[in-house]
Chain A
Amino acid sequence: MTKLALVDLGRSFGQTAAVQSVSLALAPGEFVSLLGPSGCGKTTTLRMIAGFIKPTAGRIEMNGALLSDPHRVVPPEKRGMSMIFQSYAIWPNMTVRENVAFGLKLRRMPGEDMQRRLNLILDVVRLGALADRYPAELSGGQQQRVALARAIVIEPEVLLLDEPLSNLDANLREEMRAEIRRLHDEFRITTVYVTHDQSEAMVTSDRIVVMSQGRIEQVDDPVSLYNRPRTRFVAGFIGRTNFLDGHIDGGMAVFPGIAAPAGMVPGLKLAPRPVSFSVRPNTVALHRTQPAADGIWCFPGRIVERAFLGEHWDYGVQPDGSDLRLRVATSPQDVHGLGDAVWIGIDPARIVEIPPAESA
C-alpha cells in the first residue's frame, strides 16, 4: 500500500531544472529522508509535496488521490499535512500553547478533547511547564520542540521537515535527531525529512533518498546505502571513501602503478573493460610485515600523512611505484610513523564496484 507517491516529478525555474523525474513511493508510517548537497533540489521537492510549489512535470498522489500536477494543485491548507520549517516559523505573537493549538482549532476540535490532546503532546515534547511562555522566551531547542508539537498534534497525513536541525548547535542537534525518531516511533506518521547531513538521515530514516543535481541517485536503507553505493556520487557523499579507477585486463584489476587479481572481488565480471571501485578507509588494514592471509589484496607502500582523531588514526598511504593515495582509518592502537614502510591490505569482499568515472 502506498501513502504518498511522487511520479516522474519535475520542476524547472526558467531554464534551470531544479528537480527532474523524481519517482518515489512511501508506505504508510514510513520515514524517508531526502539527502543531498545544498542546491540539489530537496527543498523544491518537499515544497511541491506541501503544495507551495506547482510541479512542471509529473504528479503527486496521496491515498491514491491526485494532489499536484502541472495543471492542478490542491492548496497546502487542504492537504492535511504539516511541516516543520528551517526557521521553525513559530508565531512570536502567540504563546506555546496557542501555537500548538492552532491546527486543532482550525479543525474545530471540541474544547475538552483539545485540552487533553494539547497537554498530552506538550508532555511528550517536554514543554508542559513552558506552555504559557512566548517563543522569544525559549531556547533554540525548545522552539524546535514547539514546532514539532505543533506539527504532530494534528496527526497529519504526512509530516514534512526541511532541515529542521540546521540552526541548532552540534550537541543539541544529536539530541533532537534522536527525539525526532522517538516521536516517529511513537506516532508512526508518514514522514519526509530533508537534510544535507548524512548522519541525521542515517539516525532517523527507514529509507534515504540520495539526490544530486535534481535527480535521485539511489534510494535505500542506511546500511545498504553505505555498504552498497550504486553510484560514484553516493559512494563519495555517504561516508568517506577511496576511488580506485583502472581497468580489467587478463583477469587482473590494473590501477596506476599497481595490479591485483580481479577474481577475488565477488561477482565481478572479468571481461576486459574500464572499472572503478569504492574502498572505504575502514576496510583497509595496515601491517608492518607482509600479511599471510589469503584472499586479500596486498601492496607494499609507505605512510605519507597521518592525523590522530581520538577515536581513530587517519593515515594517507601511497603504494610503492604508484602515485595513488589511499585514506586509511585504523584503531588508535595501530600507530605508524610518517614515512614508515607498511603493507596495505584491502579486503576484496568489502569493495564495491561503481560505474567508471567519465574521464577515466
Chain B
Amino acid sequence: MARYLRQLMRAHVVSRRFDPLILLWVALAAVLGFLVVNPLLRLILTSLEAPDTGTFTIANYLAAYGRPRYVQALWNSLWLGASVTVLCLFFALPIAWAVSRTDMPGKGAVRLMVLGAFITPPYLGAIGWILLAGPNAGWLNRLWMALTGAPEGVLDIYSFPGLTFIIAIYSFPYLFIFTASALDVVSSEMEDAANILGAGTLRTVLKVTLPMVLPAILGGAIVTFLETIALFGSPALIAIPARFNVVTTQLQQFFSPPVRSEVAAAYAVPLLLVTVAMFALQRRLIARKGFVALTGKGGERRLIALGPWRFVLLGYALFVLSLSVLLPYASLSQAALARAWGQGWSFANLTLGNFYYLLFEHETAGRSVVNSFLYAGAAACLAIGLSLSIAYIVNRRLLPFAGMLSFLCMAPFVVPGIVLAIAFYAAYAPPPLALYGTALILILAFTTRFLPIGYANASAAIRGINPEMEEAVRILGGGRLLAVRRVMAPLMKRSLVGAWLLVFIPATRELSTAMFLYGPRTRTMSVMLLDLSEEGNFERLAALGFLLLAATIVIVGVGFRLVGGDFMLRRGRS
C-alpha cells in the first residue's frame, strides 16, 4: 500500500507553471467581454461617431440635446424620479416601521401583499389603474359620479401626478425592504435607553431609531429614484397619451423609424453617468457611518405596544396595499374575464374568450408567452452558470485578478435596462453578427441585465459553505471535481434554486431591454402587452396580463416551497 502510494505520488508531482485554469479565466473573461464590456464600449463609440462615415463627431450629442423638447424630457424624468421617491417614503416608512417594530396585527398579510406589489410588473399595475382611474370611464370615476351626481370624474390617470402615483405604488417595496431590514437589527435596548431618559414613543422614533436607519433609507431612496428614471413601461402607457415625454419614451422615439441609434446612444450616455454616480453615492452612504446598528448583535428585541393606534397603522397599510394590489388586481381580473369591461360584473358578461383568443387565435400572443418563459429560463441558466463559475474562482482564490471578473459581473447593475438594450443594439445589430431580432440577442441581453442578481446570490451561496467541506474531500483522496459534485452541489442546491428564480422572475417580465431588440417572431409577453395597449382592447390586454401574473404567482409559490421563507424580500439581493 505504502509503496503504491509513493509511486502514485511521484507520478502526480505536476509542474504548476502552466495552470489549465488560466484557460478557464480567459474563457470567462471573453464571455464577460462580450456581454458587458463590448456593448457599453460600442454604446459610447456609437454616440461619438457619424453614422455613415464613422468619423469622430459630437453632432449626435448636439442632436440629442439640441431641442428644448428633448431637454424637457430629461427634466421630466428627474422630476418624476424625485416625486416618486417622496411618495414612496410616505408609503414605505410607516409600514416598514409598523411591521418591524410594533405590535400591529396582520403583519403576515401585510408582508405578503408587499411581496405582491413587489412582483407585480409596474406596467400591469398601470393597466389596472387605467381601468380604475381612466378619465370618466374608470371605475373610481364612475363611482364618484354615481355618489355625487357630478357630470365628470375627478381622477385622470393620464397626467404627471397619475404617472407618479402608479409608479410609486409599485416602487415602494424597495424602500420597504431597505428600511425594514435596517429596523430589524436595531435593538430595543437602544430605544429603551431613550425611553428611560424620558422620551416618548414618537420622540424615540424620531430622535433615536430614525437616525440609525437613515443611511438605509437614503440608500433605498436612491434605488427608487434610479429605478423610476429607468422605467419604460408605465411611462409608455401613461405619458404618451398624456402628451409628455420622459427620457425612456424619448429614447423610444429615436428608435422609431427612421431609427437614429447614434442619437439614442448619445441621449442615453448621460442617463448612464447619472446612474453610475448615484450608485457610487449610495455605496458611500451605506459604507460610512450608518450601519453601526448592524454591527452589534442586535440585542434583545421587543415590540412597541401601540394601543389603539395599531389599528390606525394597519388601516393605513391596507389602504396603500389595496391601491397597489387589491384594486388593480380586481379591475384586471374583471376585464380579463369580461366581454366588455365597462359592463361590470355580471354573469352574462363573463367569458373565457379573451384567453382563448390570445392563446389560440392571435398570431403572436401565444408565442409571446412561450418566448417569455423560454428566454427567461435560458437567461437564468446562463447567468447562474456564469456567476457560479466566477464566484467559485473568486472565492477560492484560484486565480489572480479574479476580482476583475467579479467586478464585471456586478457592473450591469448600474446600467438601466433601456441603456443596455441600446448598447446591445449598437454592438450586435450591425453585421457581422446581425443578431437584431433574434432570440439569442434577447437571451444574452437578459443574461447581462440580471447577471448582478445571479452573481450576488451565487457568491453568497458559495460563501455560505465552509471551504473545509471541500478540503475534507480532497485530503481523503477526492479531486476538486469530485468535491464539487458530491459536496458543493448538493449543499448549494437550495440556494441556487432561489438564485435561479430571482433571475427568472424579473426576466419573464422584462420590458425595457426587450423593447429595442425584439423581432417579429421574438416578441415577449411584455412587448405584446404594450402592442395590445395600442390597439386599445383592454379585455385582451388584461387577459394577457392576468396570465403573466398568474404564472409569476405560481413560480414564486414554488420558490417558497423549495427555498422557503422570505427569499424574495431579503435585503442585499443585488
Give per-residue flags for A57-77: 1 if the beta carbon is below 8 A from chain B beta carbons, else 0: 000001101110001111111
CB-contact partner of A78 in B12, B17, B471, under 8 A? B12
- Assess whether A77 is in contact with B479, with CB atoms less than 8 Å apart: yes
Q: Does A187 contact B (CB under 8 A)?
A: no
- Assess whether B471 is in contact with A71, with CB atoms less than 8 Å apart: no
Binds A, one of B1-9, B65-73, B113-121, B224-232: B1-9
Q: How far is the CB of B99 from chain A (nearest CB, A)?
A: 31
- Chain B CB count within 10 A is highest, among A62, A75, A92, A160, for A75
Interface footprint category on B: 20 to 34
CB-contact partner of A82 in B9, B14, B17, B475, under 8 A? B475
* Residue of chain A at shortest CB distance from B493: A93
- Assess whether A72 is in contact with B16, with CB atoms less than 8 Å apart: yes
- Assess whether A65 is in contact with B10, with CB atoms less than 8 Å apart: yes
Give per-residue flags for A80-98: 1 if the beta carbon is below 8 A from chain B beta carbons, else 0: 1111011101011100000
Set of chain B residues within 8 Å of A62, measured between Cβ atoms: 9
CB-contact partner of A77 in B2, B16, B474, under 8 A? B474
Q: Does B346 contact A (CB under 8 A)?
A: no
Q: Does B13 contact A (CB under 8 A)?
A: yes
Q: How far is the CB of B141 from chain A (nearest CB, A)?
A: 59
- Assess whether B487 is in contact with A63, with CB atoms less than 8 Å apart: no
Set of chain B residues within 8 Å of A121, measured between Cβ atoms: none
* Residue of chain B at shortest CB distance from A66: B13
Binds B, one of A99-107, A249-257, A260-268, A305-313: A99-107
Q: Does B15 contact A (CB under 8 A)?
A: yes
Q: How far is the CB of B288 from chain A (nearest CB, A)?
A: 28
| Given A81-B475, A103-B476, A154-B476, CB of A89 within 8 Å of CB of B466 | yes
Set of chain A residues within 8 Å of B15, measured between Cβ atoms: 71-72
Q: Does A79 contact B (CB under 8 A)?
A: yes
Give per-residue flags for A335-346: 1 if the beta carbon is below 8 A from chain B beta carbons, else 0: 000000000000
Give per-residue flags for B475-513: 1 if the beta carbon is below 8 A from chain A beta carbons, else 0: 111110000001100110000000000000000000000
Q: Does B473 contact A (CB under 8 A)?
A: yes
Q: How far is the CB of B132 from chain A (nearest CB, A)?
A: 50
- Assess whether A80 is in contact with B477, with CB atoms less than 8 Å apart: yes
CB-contact partner of B475 in A50, A54, A91, under 8 A? A50
Set of chain B residues within 8 Å of A93, measured between Cβ atoms: 487, 490-491
- Assess whether A85 is in contact with B468, with CB atoms less than 8 Å apart: yes
Set of chain B residues within 8 Å of A72, measured between Cβ atoms: 13-16
Q: Does A245 contact B (CB under 8 A)?
A: no
- Assess whether B16 is in contact with A78, with CB atoms less than 8 Å apart: no
Q: How far is the CB of A166 from chain B (nearest CB, A)?
A: 13
- Assess whether A92 is in contact with B13, with CB atoms less than 8 Å apart: no
Find residues 1-42 in chain B having any chain A CB closer than 8 Å to their own CB: 2, 5-6, 8-10, 12-17
Q: How far is the CB of A129 from chain B (nearest CB, A)?
A: 24
- Assess whether B491 is in contact with A106, with CB atoms less than 8 Å apart: no
Q: Does B398 contact A (CB under 8 A)?
A: no
Find residues 423-474 in chain B having any chain A CB closer than 8 Å to their own CB: 466, 468-469, 471-474
Set of chain B residues within 8 Å of A353, measured between Cβ atoms: none
Q: How far is the CB of B280 from chain A (nearest CB, A)?
A: 28
- Assess whether A79 is in contact with B468, with CB atoms less than 8 Å apart: no
Find residues 40-68 in chain A having any chain B CB closer than 8 Å to their own CB: 50-52, 54, 62-63, 65-67
- Assess whether B12 is in contact with A91, with CB atoms less than 8 Å apart: no
Q: Does A157 contact B (CB under 8 A)?
A: yes
- Assess whether A83 is in contact with B6, with CB atoms less than 8 Å apart: no
23 contacts between A and B (CB under 8 A): A51-B475, A63-B2, A63-B6, A71-B17, A74-B12, A76-B471, A76-B475, A77-B477, A77-B478, A77-B479, A78-B9, A78-B477, A79-B9, A85-B471, A86-B468, A89-B466, A89-B471, A91-B469, A91-B472, A91-B491, A102-B476, A102-B478, A103-B477
Which residues of A are in contact with B by a Cβ distance under 8 Å? 50-52, 54, 62-63, 65-67, 71-83, 85-87, 89, 91-93, 102-103, 106-107, 150-151, 154, 157, 160
Known: A76-B475, A77-B474, A93-B490. 15 other contacts (CB 8 A): A51-B475, A67-B9, A72-B13, A72-B15, A72-B16, A75-B474, A77-B473, A79-B475, A80-B477, A82-B476, A85-B468, A89-B466, A89-B469, A89-B472, A93-B491
